[in-house]
Each structure stands twice: as C-alpha cells, then as structure tokens.
Amino acid sequence: MHKWVLFGIGVIYALNALVMWVLPEWWYVAVPGITMMGPFNLHFVRDIGLVYLVSGLGLIYGIRTPEVAVFGCLWPALHALFHAWIFFQRGMPVDLVAATNLVLIQLPAWLSLWSAWSLIAVLKNRPHKS
C-alpha cells in the first residue's frame, strides 16, 4: 500500500508541475485561494512547478529507495505547515480555500511522509538475503 501511495501522489505532483509549466495562468485562476496570494507571476508559478516536479519524481523513485521518498516529502510537508499557518491567520474559516488546502496540500503531504517512513520501517525489519 505504501508504494501505491507514493506512486499516486508522486504522479499527481508531477502532473501538477506539468500544468504549472504548460498552463500557468489557467492553474493560477483554477486553484481556489491562489489569487488571494497576490497577482499572477509566471516566474513564481513555474519555480513552484519545478519543486513539485522534484518532489513527485522523488516520491516515485522512492518506491525503490524510501529514503529518497522522504526527501521528496520534505518540501510538501514544509509547504503544508506554511499553509496551516495561513489557515490559522485567516481565522480558521471553513470555506473552499480551506477545503482545497486540506485535500490538495495537507493530505498528500502527510500521507506521503507517513508512507515513506512506514516503507523504511518495513524494509529495515525485512530479513536480509544471504
């Protein structure tokens, strides 16, 4: 199961990166809450797209090497913490922006980190072949 989680979230991150590069203005308008963060900035959207690409590829490669998956989880986890702070600064509203934060940022970040750590634990407890 952990490998499927890493693969699935990795693919989603990589596809998000692709959209951020190919359709950056559409991405900016389509994702709830993004326009609240300031005016459209092509450089910024594509920079973050690159980070999503590295994280996604790290999660996918991490299926074979779970320590790489942990690396792939670092930015999404820090990003999730930052967005949790934003949520509290906004007064903890239950709205579309908060739902988007939960579904597209919080859940994938923490689920992938849990899966990566769990996969490391599973592999460490597996008997070695002689």
**Among 51, 50, 40, 38, residue whose Cα is nearest residue 109:** 51
**pLDDT tens readout for residues 57-83:** 999 999 999 999 999 999 999 999 999
The alpha carbon of residue 52 and the mean position of all alpha carbons in its chain are separated, in whole angstroms, by 7
- Dist CA 99 CA 94 (whole Å): 7
**pLDDT tens readout for residues 31-61:** 988 998 899 999 999 999 999 999 999 999 9
Q: Is the pTM of this model over 0.85?
A: yes
CA angle (31, 53, 112) in 5-degree steps: 80
